[in-house]
Chain A
């Protein structure tokens, strides 16, 4: 078989100008065959018997790549291409298959997503059948972002988040002396401010009931509150787990392993159905608060493990040095251990936050409508039936952008703190 293909001789550096044009020609022929076939339904090789017909692009492409496979050809681009996708026949077949699959699938996908999609209009009638109906998203966008929060009060949500982002960004740039105060402010004072802003009822702000909170803003409200609140709890649990006192240690281990061993859905069910039974008769706690408490405790267990990792990573020498200077347990931890350990676990904290954001859609099973829940509501609206795909694709893209950037950022943080040590 090789002998037949090699009737022109083996591809080599010397015969560069012979093999490269032939290789490029054959390879392109394969690509064109697939393109014409899938996009325009034109079959240029129909004169071949039926079975062979199907494989002609592969054969052309394979031969083309074989002729192009010249080791050390001297041409930088060709060499790079050869090493990366054409190093042997197995790789070249995989490359061809991948390219063909992409050619067959990407144009229809782009077609649906952008080319045939509808962006302009206000009602379902403005949507054609062949493309995505982005009008659906456009009309529902405010609800998807803010849930049923009254339009007139949206500035309150926006303000809280702008404040939050400013504070977090400031955390990285202010001098170390002030960092401590900012962190304490962020953990103990800011939640109150944010809560009052969004909830209202005090300071002259209109009260907005928690069932009206929804959409992507609810995702972030819950994530931010849970993260801030689970942090001190997680810290105590991590310290408790490392304690030598058996009661503290086993209580911490029990608590941590319990929350880590059960699915989040059961935790949410527990919050919505079981918690009320544990409250004194007549006392009613808002469902959203119960859910936030449940999620906080749940994430605190995972946060505890992350912090414990940081505590363990610190060299024993730090403990020894601080003890030999006469520091007691709390001073040792607050002044020496925790500041260092927390720096180590910042990437872990970022990961926990990311996991938290990805977990929040679950709250729709207990009736709280964050982004995915709002999309469910939108797609069952009688005026807008049948756009489930657009809704989920939109949510998917939105979540992906957010989560991808967060994970990239936390990877960069990890690199930064790795080199710092």
Chain B
């Protein structure tokens, strides 16, 4: 035992307090310095320099799926990054949407009094939770979607959409004066906000309940519709049409192509994450004790009021934090796109762009930073939300 040092430190409590921290700090600085030095040496040897200027250079590769963003091979790498990011967000949004709906349904079914339904939900959860996500993804992409027919014999949905092995083709929305339509929706939302405020004040003042929900429904339907009649907004559809591209190859031209990679990824992410969301929902609903419902019933509230005023507020407090965590996991898991060539951020930027420029450190750092920012932003939001609605205790 190094008694010398320990007695030395004991006599000087201030140093004892700061000593471990200084050691840790030195250690961290040392590690970082060591890595940086090595990286510098290695890059010098290879004739690469460190810098972000490459982001302005021409990308010279195409991306197969670029809705919402204008992109081709002449655009800079920064644009490619943007396309990748947008694609990641698209698949994450679709995944979150379906995972939530499915998760809520299964979570509630798990609590059903019907034995068959609750058992089937239980099996669904056990099956889809215990198979690795990558494997589920591969199954959908390589097995299930490969079984779809060729475009010539595509599955036809009311002559509007066509599903084939090359993807799901849906009509493209072509707007004239689309911005007016968007404004009308924004205006409708603002109006609804005021409707709710007004009806609440009325209820507090006089006790009367004005059906805010129905009025809001009316507004959100009528107002946008009006823009068609008097706002000069019109909408046409560009339908996908089957064209013969060569002697044996047929495909659909026009419309929007939802590529099989996106479908497989969205399906796998939704089915997998739904299992976790279902468990969150179940915990939330079970977390509201029977006594709460009984007390609410005993003071005369109707079942609808009990659900809205007593059960849901408590259940949501239990459900929302872990569910948001699952949304975050889903967004991170969307990076599995790299394994099936869906052009998300990882594949486009940390894959293709990195292979072309060889700038591993910059690109991987930027990619990791992007995901890190998303995680931290969601964390901060979650903490704020938790503080705001926390049930106060002693």
- Indicate if A touches B (C-beta under 8 A): yes
Known A260-B375, A262-B371, A372-B134; judge A91-B38 contact (CB<8 A).
no
Cβ B336 vs Cβ A265 within 8 A:
yes
Q: With a CB–CB cut-off of 8 A, which chain B residues contact A376?
A: 138
Q: With a CB–CB cut-off of 8 A, which chain A residues contact B17?
A: 245
- State in angstroms the CA–CA spacing of A251 and B339 once bound together: 33
- State in angstroms the CA–CA spacing of A247 and B339 once bound together: 39
Q: With a CB–CB cut-off of 8 A, which chain A residues contact B346?
A: 263, 265-266, 269
Cβ B24 vs Cβ A362 within 8 A:
no
Cβ B133 vs Cβ A358 within 8 A:
yes
30 CB-based A-B contacts, threshold 8 Å = A84-B114, A85-B114, A95-B114, A98-B120, A99-B116, A247-B21, A247-B22, A248-B24, A261-B371, A262-B372, A262-B375, A263-B332, A269-B364, A269-B367, A277-B361, A278-B35, A279-B38, A281-B38, A281-B42, A358-B130, A358-B132, A358-B133, A361-B132, A361-B135, A364-B134, A372-B135, A393-B143, A395-B135, A396-B136, A399-B135
Cβ A392 vs Cβ B117 within 8 A:
no
Is A270 an interface position by the 8 A CB rule? yes
Residue of B nearest to A392 (CB): B139
Is B142 an interface position by the 8 A CB rule? yes
Closest chain B CB from A115 CB (angstroms): 20
Cβ B42 vs Cβ A277 within 8 A:
yes
Interface residues in A319-341 by Cβ distance below 8 A to B read none
Q: With a CB–CB cut-off of 8 A, which chain A residues contact B242?
A: none
Closest chain B CB from A193 CB (angstroms): 29
How many of chain B's residues have a CB under 8 angstroms from any CB in A? 58
Closest chain B CB from A220 CB (angstroms): 14
Q: With a CB–CB cut-off of 8 A, which chain B residues contact A404?
A: 126, 130
**Which among B41, B113, B339, B361 is the interface contact of A274 at CB below 8 angstroms?**
B361
Cβ A94 vs Cβ B364 within 8 A:
no
- State in angstroms the CA–CA spacing of A407 and B125 once bound together: 12
Main secondary structure of the interface of A (DSSP, over half): helix
- State in angstroms the CA–CA spacing of A359 and B39 once bound together: 29
Closest chain A CB from B128 CB (angstroms): 10
Residue of B nearest to A86 (CB): B114
Cβ A248 vs Cβ B143 within 8 A:
no
Which of A276, A277, A362 has most B Cβ within 10 Å? A277
- State in angstroms the CA–CA spacing of A247 and B138 once bound together: 44
- State in angstroms the CA–CA spacing of A344 and B350 once bound together: 40
- State in angstroms the CA–CA spacing of A266 and B39 once bound together: 19
Known A266-B350, A372-B138; judge A388-B114 contact (CB<8 A).
no
Is A314 an interface position by the 8 A CB rule? no
Q: With a CB–CB cut-off of 8 A, which chain A residues contact B132?
A: 357-361, 372, 399
Cβ A277 vs Cβ B114 within 8 A:
no
**Which among A84, A273, A281, A399 is the interface contact of B45 at CB below 8 angstroms?**
A281
Is A246 an interface position by the 8 A CB rule? yes
Cβ A84 vs Cβ B339 within 8 A:
no
Cβ A392 vs Cβ B372 within 8 A:
no
Using a CB–CB cutoff of 8 Å, the interface residues on chain A facing chain B are 83-85, 87, 91, 94-95, 98-99, 245-248, 251, 257-258, 260-266, 269-270, 273-274, 276-281, 357-362, 364-365, 372, 376, 379, 388-389, 392-393, 395-396, 399-400, 403-404, 407
Closest chain A CB from B215 CB (angstroms): 30
Q: With a CB–CB cut-off of 8 A, which chain A residues contact B39?
A: 277-278
- State in angstroms the CA–CA spacing of A391 and B143 once bound together: 10
Cβ B360 vs Cβ A91 within 8 A:
no
Q: With a CB–CB cut-off of 8 A, which chain B residues contact A396?
A: 131, 135-136, 139
Using a CB–CB cutoff of 8 Å, the interface residues on chain B facing chain A are 17, 20-22, 24-25, 28, 34-35, 38-39, 41-43, 45, 112-117, 120, 126-127, 129-136, 138-139, 142-143, 146, 332-336, 338-339, 346, 350, 354, 360-361, 364, 367-368, 371-372, 374-376, 379
- State in angstroms the CA–CA spacing of A357 and B133 once bound together: 11
Q: With a CB–CB cut-off of 8 A, which chain B residues contact A400?
A: 127, 130-131
Residue of B nearest to A267 (CB): B368
Closest chain B CB from A8 CB (angstroms): 26
Known A245-B21, A281-B41, A400-B130; judge A262-B332 contact (CB<8 A).
yes
Known A95-B114, A277-B361, A281-B45; judge A263-B131 contact (CB<8 A).
no
Residue of A nearest to B133 (CB): A358
Q: With a CB–CB cut-off of 8 A, which chain B residues contact A247?
A: 21-22, 24-25
Cβ B20 vs Cβ A245 within 8 A:
yes
Cβ A399 vs Cβ B371 within 8 A:
no
Residue of A nearest to B37 (CB): A280
**Which among B35, B134, B332 is the interface contact of A361 at CB below 8 angstroms?**
B134
Residue of A nearest to B44 (CB): A281
Residue of B nearest to A270 (CB): B364
- State in angstroms the CA–CA spacing of A246 and B339 once bound together: 41
Cβ A270 vs Cβ B368 within 8 A:
yes
Closest chain A CB from B363 CB (angstroms): 9
Cβ A392 vs Cβ B143 within 8 A:
yes
Q: With a CB–CB cut-off of 8 A, which chain A residues contact B367?
A: 266, 269
Residue of A nearest to B147 (CB): A389
Cβ B41 vs Cβ A263 within 8 A:
no
Q: With a CB–CB cut-off of 8 A, which chain A residues contact B335?
A: 263-266
Cβ A98 vs Cβ B38 within 8 A:
no
- State in angstroms the CA–CA spacing of A361 and B339 once bound together: 11
Q: With a CB–CB cut-off of 8 A, which chain B residues contact A392?
A: 135, 138-139, 142-143
- With A258-B372, A266-B368 known, 16 other A-B pairs at CB within 8 A are A84-B113, A95-B114, A261-B372, A265-B338, A266-B350, A269-B364, A277-B360, A279-B38, A357-B132, A372-B134, A392-B135, A393-B143, A395-B135, A396-B136, A400-B127, A407-B129
Cβ A274 vs Cβ B134 within 8 A:
no
Cβ B371 vs Cβ A91 within 8 A:
no
- State in angstroms the CA–CA spacing of A379 and B143 once bound together: 11
Closest chain A CB from B43 CB (angstroms): 7
- State in angstroms the CA–CA spacing of A59 and B142 once bound together: 40
Q: With a CB–CB cut-off of 8 A, which chain A residues contact B143?
A: 388-389, 392-393
- State in angstroms the CA–CA spacing of A195 and B117 once bound together: 48
Residue of A nearest to B39 (CB): A277
- State in angstroms the CA–CA spacing of A94 and B121 once bound together: 13
Known A261-B375, A358-B133; judge A273-B38 contact (CB<8 A).
no
Closest chain B CB from A394 CB (angstroms): 10
Q: With a CB–CB cut-off of 8 A, which chain B residues contact A360?
A: 132
Q: With a CB–CB cut-off of 8 A, which chain A residues contact B350?
A: 266, 269
**Which among A84, A95, A246, A269 is the interface contact of B21 at CB below 8 angstroms?**
A246
Residue of A nearest to B21 (CB): A247
Cβ A266 vs Cβ B364 within 8 A:
yes
Known A265-B338, A273-B360, A396-B131; judge A98-B117 contact (CB<8 A).
yes
